[in-house]
Structure 1
Amino acid sequence: MNPYGQEIKKFISSQYLYAGTRIALSIVLPSILLAYFGLLKEYFLFPLATSFVGLTDQVGPFIRRRNALLLAVLSLTFVAWIGMLLAPYPVAALLTLIVFGLFFSMIGVYGQRLMAVGGLTLVVYSIFIDGHLTQGPVAKNILVYALGSLWYLLVFLVFSKLQPYKLASQMIGENYLELGEYLKLKAEFYELSVDYESTYSLVIAKQINIKNLQQDTREVVFKTRTLVSESTTTSRLLMLLFLNSIDLYEKLFTSDQNYRKLHSAFDKHHILEEISSYLQLLSTELIGIGISLQASAKPRPQKDYKEAHRKLYHTFFELRKNHLSAQTLEDFMALRLVLSRISSVTEDISTIYKIGTQDIRMAKSLSSGLDLNLFVPKEEKLSTKVFRDNLSLKSYHFRHAVRIVTALSIGYLLSLVPYYSIGHSYWILITILAIMRPAYSTTKHRNLLRLYGTLGGAVVAYWILKSTSHPTVLLSILLGSMIFCFTLLKGKYAWAVFFMTIYIFIGFNFLNPGNINALFRDRLIDTAIAGVIVYAVSYFVLPVWEHSQNPLLMRKSLQANTDYLMLVCKRLQGENIDNQNYKLARKEAVIALANLSDNFQRMLSDPKNQQRRLEIVHQFVNTSHLVTAYSASLAQYASDGKYPELSVANWQKKILSQLETSKALLENRPTTSMHNDTDNFISSAVEELLEERKEQLTEEKFLDHRDPTLVPRLTELKNIYDIMELLLDVVREQRKVLETFHKEI
């Protein structure tokens, strides 16, 4: 598939374009109808209400989305009414703004969905206390606004009824798209000119994206009744595909090879380049699967990857035939395991094609045997106790609410200063709410993106309105801009603001033609004022710096890694570990690692004086990543305890001693005698077996067996042994990092 064509198909079939188009059409179609009858200016509150309720529609299970939209209809309509009443009374409006600001910012303690409702509620109140957008009787205006709010709710209910599986299919497809991009990054490690540091950084960033997407998809898939309770072929097939994507991610996540050593041994033979090319091919297949799922189509192979797989093994066998010796044995064993993992991923892709196109009976017989509720992100229950408990300066939510109220109050007071004569002063408050986030680093980033997007969009919109006044052309541009804005709002904020500015200019021009210069001036001035306010308030008013969260996130990651690794070791020893507990431990380890990595990346945007112990935290993040990755590598073998030669219990005891010491350091507990680096570790029978094999290669002729499915037992034993050694080295290094961290606290 052409890369550009692939990108276009990804975009066209995505949930973001689908949702953006739905919201845009919900706004534009009633507007066209009203304009046809000459009523748009009188009833423009109808599409305005539709747009705000649509923006509160967050991805999730149907019932949660429906309930959130109902709440949005009520809260947005209520504050619009209050805003209309208080618009002539600035003092009363300011006091109510403070009360609403605290309350609707604090409901974010109940999750992202209510945080979105609260934020948009404050946006609506900010618009209506300005007073310039409403004329005529309050009762009529509020009725029109309420009907516009209910209109989007009706559209949502109809689309959900007509396409109950659409969102789940698109989100599962997006998981495969991300896995394809992740595999493409992993392929770079086998290229001759690989930059290890930058590639590792990109890999970690992609892991954060995958974690967030998996969390959202779990909520949609595991909390949607039609997927969990109904026994339709479609629901079972989608569930199977999502569970498969999680297991596939574990295989791709493994980092059990020393890439530098592989390059040193095989660069001159070019087989690593072939591996990279083949992984790129598999990446294309995964992306194709993702696009098909997003488009609700059956996935079909993009290329003959099976033939490419056979050619890769042929290259390996020829290379082994000509160069295997006692000196190169360990290098070829490592390469053999790389190919084994690649074969496993290839088999998974073949299974996906089989499920999607032929053997539907596989989906009908699906039974995960898991309590799916345990895998869904937990949201706070709607209790007043949770709200009251967060009314404290120790609460990040409360500190954020205070910053919101402070910034809104400053913005509103500035908008009342007659000297500036700003015609759209409510844009200051809207921009404050759009930019400000709980973390300073995120706020700073959005502030810059908002500025870039607004400036670019204003210039383009100004040029469009100066170039043409044809209603059909302007309406087409407005609809396109709306679709792109709502589509890009989550992932490409600067571009979303760019298109938002264009459709705002055109929309206001329809309502009040010939006022382009004032629009241009007000939009840029208001954005600049809001940006300065947000920056100052975020920096000086109860700021939350990322370094303050590091100790907690480090403890969570360390504990999750310990739990996951211990279950893997027990399975290696043949203990019967419940599959559900194992999968839960794996999920928690991956999530904890991604949260820690994400927090570290945000810390890099904090002021230099707030990037405390940056290098130490960076080292801890890297070692945590390796512990999780090596544990996932071991998990590929952890099935029936068939490796008694490895003395896994002794390895486990040694590694656990280091991890317990690290936990004690993080928890500020005594660490005396919890580890002893001078102990002689038990020698492994693997080394003896390896020496025997080298002697055989020296004394006997090599037998050229060419079975791609056969991985010699000694190769597996050697790989597990190497991973155990690497794990022990990494947890020792992590303990040393925490000793330094402990001293600097």
Structure 2
Amino acid sequence: MLNNSKELLNFFKSTSFSKAILISLAVSIPIILGIITKRFEIGLALCFGAFWCSPSDVNGSLKHKQIGILFSALLVSIISFIGGFLHLTGYFLYPILGVLTFCIAFISIYGFRASLISFSGLLALVLSFAHTLENLEVYQYALLIGLGGLWYLLISTIWYYINPKAQTEELLKETIVLTAEFLNVRKKLIGKKKEKYSLKTKLMTLQSELTEHHETLREILILSRKSSGKSNYQSKRLLVFIQLIEILENAIANPVNNDKRDALLKLHPNIKREFKNIISELSKQLLSIAENINNPKKIQVSNMLTKAFTTLEKSILKFKNENNSEDYELYLMLHNFLDYQKKQNEKLKKIKWLLGNPDLKSDDYIKNDKLNRFIVSQDYNPKLLIRNFSFRSNIFKHSLRLAFVVMLGYAVGMFLDFQNPYWIILTIIVIMRPSYGLTKTRTKDRIIGTLIGAILASGLVFLINSPYLYGGLGIIALVIAFSMVQKNYKASATFITLSVIFIYAILEPNILKVIQFRVLDTLIGALLSFAAMLWLWPAWSFMEINEYLKNSLKANTLFFNSITNHYQTKGKVPTSLKVNRKEAFLQTSNLSSAFQRMAQEPKSKQNHIDDIYQLVVVNHSFLSALASLSAYIQNHATTEASKDFKLITNKITNNLNTICKDLATINFEDIELKNKTLETKENAFIFPFKTITNQVLLQTNNIRNHKEAHLIWEQLYWLYSLTEKMLKIVNRFK
């Protein structure tokens, strides 16, 4: 009960709920004023304009929000103007409808926010069939639609200035919770064999979610700080965000490859248990921070970590026997692993300190010229449309598919003489997405949600017979539907159905007929969408997974080169290293998402999924090793790079370049696979890991140097092994 009440309270505090209230106000006020002033049609037009522009109001900087809503207002005005003349007879309507749908959908080529603007345009196009003008000219109606968009922009901007911190706080809180969950899964992965696959998959999913949150937070915090100067609030939240990024890097990092770590810890279950306890406590501390982000005094203070570190250090010291190479190697590995956990604790302490609203010194601020390098501007060059006007582009195929299905859906509705055939095409544009997996999920959720909503509405209309109650319930259902559309689409579809039925119940006495057609239209639209994804210019993931693999490998190569360059040159950590780290995490996350989409597709379309999965996992392991190196060299003074270091790093870079080159020649559409393995060459390079490490251990008695040598050479050996493994997998496709 306590957890449910907390979740309900968090839901009411969320930006999703406040945005739903905002949309409901933007839609309701013009309607009410229109009824009062007897200018209902003007109120309705303003209502439509506000509603159609609301999808562009997503998390991001205020400037980007405002530009998105303005472009939405312009697009829906133009589409409404054109739509006013679309009430044509005969066959002329269908090609015009198809061309318009394609053109509007193709705008999505310019990124996520553009896809929301495109969705607004599609809504305006579809709903232009639902409303016949009586007292307004087409141009007047189109202008009022645009004014409705400006009205929504006004109240959205006012709300932002009333509560400017809301989206930052919510996103930061969600990021902290996801980071805590990531730590928890990493803890479970230590020594696990049975659940290894599911845990690794969970880690990939969490990393993708975290990367999305990081990208949004970068936009909000960096662009907001640039526009407001050195704001204390924005600067402190930015520094908290940086700590979270470094916590993720440390969480991914390991001083030794996972299999070797697990084998060593299996022999010492008490040490494994102590490490797990520390990671578990770090996760709990993060959750406490998330829960009390606005009230840092309530954050739990625990001495458990201090005690746990002391106990573990004593346990590890037992292995400090330089005369026994195996014990001493275990000591170095465990001590390096312990150092990572201590760094995590330092990051936690810094987050708590920053949330305590301290006075920052000028050195604490990050300069804007450095921050600018972490923001990638969207390319809005018109040539992008031309470059993507081919079947190689998924957005092109999606736009063409959507245009065809919209024409077909409307034709089916007209042929069957449905009450509201535009409901079919409305269902199509809401459900259809460029990927098969998401379309399948939304199809299922939409059908289930509509059926549940219809059943509930059928029961309620027998109990209620008041238009005022219908109106009130319709608005309440609309608020809940809008607030849940991102988090639970099935529930959102349920409340959208309830809202539509209650609103129609005011106008249509035969409400059961409305419910019947609503269900039929949704079923037809959903089935057409799903069928189109299977048979109309399908975009299966195996067709594009190669590109994601190459992008991820290239990003990892740049990150690796940045790390090795810094290790050789020393000095202050360059911004380029952190930028390349961000890109490596982003591209690895994109690769994971692409593989997840592939895993959701029909078995017959999952070409070489086992081999691709191996490449994805090895690539993740490669990033883990890079994170280990990166975290170590950024936080420790290191010795001079040896000739062997340069030789090995060149070998790894050459392997990476060869893999990228080979991937460019692979076609995963080929069903057959050559079952060949790389033959060992006579002059094949053998990594002298043990020899090099032992030389360092003999040359000096400095434990810090020993720890560095063990970690650096362990990671380089692991990186080299991973590139060799990738070469073998890729070679099978050549």
The TM-score, its normalising length taken from structure 1, stands at 0.87
Q: Paired residue for 1:707?
A: none
- 3-state SS of the aligned residue for 2:352? helix
State the distance in 1 between where 2:269 and 2:576 align. Answer: 44
Rate the CA distance shift 1:739–1:10 in 2: closer, same or farther, 3 A.
farther
**What's the secondary structure of 1:86's corresponding residue?**
coil
Residues 13-412 of structure 1: matches in 2 within 5 Å? 13-31=13-31, 43-87=43-87, 89=89, 91-131=91-131, 135-138=134-137, 142=142, 145-190=145-190, 195-224=195-224, 226-227=225-226, 229-258=228-257, 262=261, 265-266=264-265, 269-293=269-293, 297-300=294-297, 302-305=299-302, 307-320=303-316, 326=324, 328-362=327-361, 365-368=364-367, 370-381=369-380, 383-412=381-410
CA distance in 1 between counterparts of 2:336 and 2:406 reads 59
Q: How has the CA–CA distance of structure 1 residues 318 and 128 changed in structure 2, closer, same or farther, with 3 Å as cutoff?
A: same
Give the alignment of 1:299-698 within 5 angstroms.
Answer: 299-300=296-297, 302-305=299-302, 307-320=303-316, 326=324, 328-362=327-361, 365-368=364-367, 370-381=369-380, 383-417=381-415, 420-469=416-465, 474=470, 477-512=473-508, 514-575=509-570, 579-639=574-634, 640-642=637-639, 647-668=644-665, 677-679=684-686, 681=688, 684-687=691-694
Unaligned runs of 5+ in 1: 697-709
Deviation at 1:362, TM superposition (A): 4.4
Q: Answer whether contact 2:94 2:407 (CA < 8 A) is retained.
A: yes
Structure 2 CA distance, aligned partners of 1:735 and 1:482? 54
Q: C-alpha separation between the residues in 2 aligned to 1:454 and 1:363?
A: 56
Counterpart CA distance in 2 for 1:719 and 1:509 is: 70
Deviates more, 1:205-214 or 1:318-327: 318-327
The alignment status of 1:720 with 2:684, answered yes or no, reads no
Distance 1:185 1:484 in 2: 32
* Secondary structure of the structure 2 residue equivalent to 1:636: helix
CA shift, 1:358, in A, is 4.2
Cα distance in 1 between the residues matched to 2:609 and 2:201:
16
SS of the residue corresponding to residue 97 of structure 1 reads: helix
Contact persistence 1:657–1:674 (CA under 8 A): no
User: 1:646 touches 1:717 (CA, 8 Å); kept in 2?
Assistant: no
Cα distance in 2 between the residues matched to 1:292 and 1:18: 20
Cα distance in 2 between the residues matched to 1:471 and 1:357: 52
Instruction: Kindly report the root-mean-square deviation, in angstroms, between the aligned alpha carbons of the 2 structures.
Output: 3.4
Identical columns (%): 21
What's the secondary structure of 1:85's corresponding residue? coil
Pair 625,102 (structure 1): closer, same or farther in 2 beyond 3 Å: same
Shift of residue 409, structure 1, vs aligned partner? 0.7
Greater Cα offset, 23-32 or 263-272:
263-272
8 Å Cα contact 1:189-1:196 kept in structure 2: yes
Task: Give 3-state SS (helix, strand or coil) of 1:437's partner.
Answer: coil
**Counterpart amino acid of residue 14 in structure 2:** S
SS class of match (1:361): coil
Counterpart AA for 1:663: C
User: Partner amino acid for 1:657?
Assistant: N
**What is the CA-CA distance between 1:200 and the residue it aligns to?**
0.7
Contact 2:639 2:705 in 1 (8 A): no
Secondary structure in 1 matching 2:600:
coil
Task: Confirm or deny: 8 A CA contact 1:453 1:496 kept in the other structure.
Answer: yes
Q: CA deviation at 1:313?
A: 1.9
Q: In 2 relative to 1, CA 495–648 (structure 1 residues): closer, same or farther, beyond 3 Å?
A: farther
State the Cα deviation string for residues 452-494 of structure 1 (Å, max 9, x = none): 2222222223333333346676555444433332222223222
Range 77-86 or range 553-562, more displaced? 77-86
Segments of structure 2 that go 5 or more residues without pairing to the other structure are 667-677
Give the CA deviation at 1:430.
Answer: 0.7
Alpha-carbon shift at residue 209 of structure 1 (Å):
1.1
**Residue pair 1:645, 1:686 contacting (<8 A) in 2 also:** no
The CA deviation string for residues 549-602 of structure 1, in whole angstroms up to 9 with x for no partner, is 122222211111111112212222344576121112111211111111111111
Quote how far apart the aligned CAs of 1:135 are: 4.7
Aligned partner of 1:740 in structure 2 is: 732
Residues 219/79 of structure 1: CA separation in 2 closer, same or farther (3 Å cut): same
Report the Cα offset of residue 274 of structure 1.
4.3
Aligned to 1:730: 722
Q: Distance in 1 between matches of 2:183 and 2:471?
A: 42
**Deviation for aligned residue 1:34:** 5.6
Deviates most, 657-666 or 526-535? 657-666
Please give the alpha-carbon distance, in whole angstroms, between the structure 2 residues aligned to 1:175 and 1:522: 42
- Bigger shift: residues 678-687 or 515-524: 678-687
Deviations 1:420-476 (A, max 9, x none): 331121111111111111223332232222222222222223333333346676555
Q: Distance in 1 between matches of 2:385 and 2:193?
A: 54
What is the identity, as a one-letter code, of the residue corresponding to 1:687? Answer: N
SS at the partner of 1:573? Answer: helix
Cα distance change of structure 1 residues 92 and 668 upon mapping to structure 2, 3 Å threshold:
closer
Stretch deviating more after TM superposition (190-199 or 653-662): 190-199
Alignment-derived partner of residue 700 in structure 1: none
* Counterpart residue identity of residue 426, structure 1: Y
Please state how far the C-alpha of 1:733 moved relative to its aligned partner.
0.5
Q: How far has the Cα of 1:51 moved from its partner?
A: 1.9
Output the amino acid matched with 2:512.
N
Q: Indicate the SS of the match to 2:586.
A: helix
Shift of 1:355: 1.4
CA contact (8 A) 1:10 1:291 kept: no
Structure 2: how far apart are the matches of 1:676 and 1:37? 90
Q: Return the alpha-carbon distance in structure 1 between the equivalents of residues 480 and 174 of structure 2.
A: 18
CA distance in 2, matches of 1:256, 1:474: 63
Deviation at 1:732, TM superposition (A): 0.8
Q: Distance in 1 between matches of 2:38 and 2:645?
A: 79
Q: Which amino acid aligns with 2:432?
A: M
Q: How big is the shift at 1:350?
A: 0.9
Q: Which amino acid aligns with 2:300?
A: K
User: Which residue does the alignment assign to 2:674?
Assistant: none
Q: Distance in 2 between matches of 1:283 and 1:474?
A: 47
Helix, strand or coil: the match of 1:416? helix
Equivalents in 1 of 2:361, 2:13: separation in Å?
Answer: 26
Paired residues, number: 716
The CA deviation at 1:617 is 1.1
Structure 2 CA distance, aligned partners of 1:680 and 1:30? Answer: 73
Residues 288 and 300, structure 2, Cα contact 8 Å, conserved in 1: no
Counterpart residue type for residue 120 of structure 1:
S
2:689/2:714 contact within 8 Å kept: no
Residues 503-548 of structure 1: CA distance to partner in whole angstroms, max 9, x if unpaired? 2222222343x43312221121111111222123222222212111
- Cα distance in structure 2, aligned partners of 1:333 and 1:476: 68
Q: Tell me if structure 2 keeps the 8 A contact 1:593–1:625.
A: yes
- Normalised by the length of structure 2, the TM-score is 0.88
